[in-house]
Structure 1
């Protein structure tokens, strides 16, 4: 095997996106230090050890987002850090303490470790397209780009905790990195669709599975949403890390469609699945994303068909769905 391209750290390595990112980075020829809560949890981490080159080039170490200094060992000596770990978001009685604080403090804890690393070239932070699209003052005819920020006041008023946590965490990251001369690039994915590597489905994949099984509750709040293949998001992280001239924020989204359009597409393409036909109409402004910035680095987005075909094949393989008929 060739010499590794370099050593990088991926935080929260067993997650939905992070697992796919680890897979891609290993294939690109890097040595990967992945942080997890419990390196001894064989069941939860088995999918990572099955990845190509994992035996030779993957090391999993313990780290806790809320423990200052716990990322030092993983990050020191790495040329790059991909910070994907974020708190698990569940209904909570105290969102400030249980969602906002972990998102912001967890990000800052990782960046404090980065600031001690003399070998560091760049940090790539996984943010979210929700950090640009929640506003009441945009022109629906002009696509949203990376210069736009979600309204913190609007998120607080309507208690949109996920978007608020991502927005405040990204803003805190920019402030810290400017003050500490850290080269930061952020990736802003829309809703991830694609194969799931971990044995247990995350909330994102579970929501998609529910929709394919005919459930409407979890998806009802989506209204209009951007969708993107998980592999496109992983490749975006690597592109912005490797392109020396890359900088700032990068929106990563393939299609923006309404829930009605999505349901129509899914029921036509997968006629054997009980896709819901009717949804409560949500009065939300149309929006699109301007993705020219990431496309300028050479990314070509996979289609809606590809992302759902790959996602459904993964569900069938894992036993969550039986054989699915696809209309070509």
Structure 2
């Protein structure tokens, strides 16, 4: 593996930093991109990882200038494309929104992969936000959420704000675009991840972890995101950061693989998440406005990852409890408040 070069775009993100760490631990040589090599915190985070001095090279690249990724891609065999624009930057750009920027950046990266002559496989980090089981008419949900589901982009979602809808459109259009590039020249995999929790290398709370604990934190903004996902997806798929990293790595260690995979080890309603906190954190009280039981009976039907030999190691309790533990460490509940989690 030490002779195998891989590239991780968006290497300083929540998932990106954990994936870089795991790849280095497994012996890969890693190229990682950041938007700004002048950021001492992000550079320091990655350069401080074990084995980074010997096998990690950092590159500056911005999705709004997609040609910048080509040097990082050169010489690599596998590309993990995580970088995605979360907020549109209209100044001095040819793109009118994040969807245009994301799709254009993706196509540029695909061209660089093919041009390199070394890249065998592109792994795109997608989102379950692109896999809604809601019917195209908007009238109810299908019985199962699996790899056949695609989010209808012609519907209005009551709990959506502009940022959430921009993200949903961007990830849906980008995933459809990347799968279009499966060919004899390039193997393409998309991994649509659920809401990620567990732990983090970052010094600030990742948004997905904040959404998972929004009910006990009485965080209205993040709870709106939780409920948006529930209304979009029927329930909320969740997954541990370590399982996400291992799923990505499995998709380069398989000899031949292409296609779409959903990645989540649990599929919970927001009411079930609230029930978990009430059961295992009996000393807290969740306000009624943060508990809504919608009674949906949709089933998680995704099996594609398991078919290629993947096994999840972390269940819902571990994901939620570890997320809470890290939130407390990072001061999300104040220095004087300690929430005890029962076994």
**Pair in the same fold by TM > 0.5:** yes
How much does 1:278 deviate? 4.2
Aligned residue for 2:151? 150
SS at match of 1:70: helix
Matches within 5 A, 1:136-147: 136=135, 142-147=143-148
Superposed CA deviations along residues 232-288 of structure 1, whole A, max 9, x for unmatched, are 111111111111233211110111111111111113212344544543647685433
In the alignment, what sits opposite 2:274?
263
Are the counterparts in 2 of residues 5 and 30 from structure 1 also a CA contact under 8 Å? Answer: yes
Q: Give, in angstroms, the shift of residue 91 of structure 1.
A: 12
Please give the root-mean-square deviation of Cα atoms over the aligned residues, in Å. 2.8
TM-score by length of 1: 0.88
**Secondary structure, in 3 states, of the residue corresponding to 1:187?**
strand
Q: TM-score by structure 2 length? A: 0.84
- Partner in structure 2 of residue 213 of structure 1: 217
Aligned to 2:104: 105
Shift of 1:104: 1.4
How many residue pairs end up in the alignment? 322
1:325 lines up with 2:336 in the alignment: no
In structure 1, the residue matched to 2:121 is 122
1:41-97 residue CA offsets vs partner (Å, 9 max, x unmatched): 1123322223221222111110111214211110010010000111124899xxx82
Instruction: Give the match for residue 200 of structure 1.
Output: 204
Whole-Å separation in 2 of the counterparts to 1:233 and 1:305: 16
Q: Aligned pair in 2 of structure 1 residues 283, 100: CA closer, same or farther (>3 Å)?
A: farther
1:99 CA drift (Å): 2.3
Partner of 2:123: helix, strand, or coil? Answer: strand
* CA deviation profile, 1:153-211 (whole Å, cap 9, x unmatched): 23699773322211111111122444x83110110111111212122333323333543
1:253 corresponds to which of 264, 280, 293:
264
Match of 1:131 in 2: 130
8 Å Cα contact 1:140-1:285 kept in structure 2: no
1:290 maps to which of 301, 310, 317: 301
The aligned residue for residue 59 of structure 2 is 61
Q: 1:26 matched to which residue of 2?
A: 24
Structure 1: 5+ residue stretches without partners: none
Q: 1:226 matched to which residue of 2? A: 237
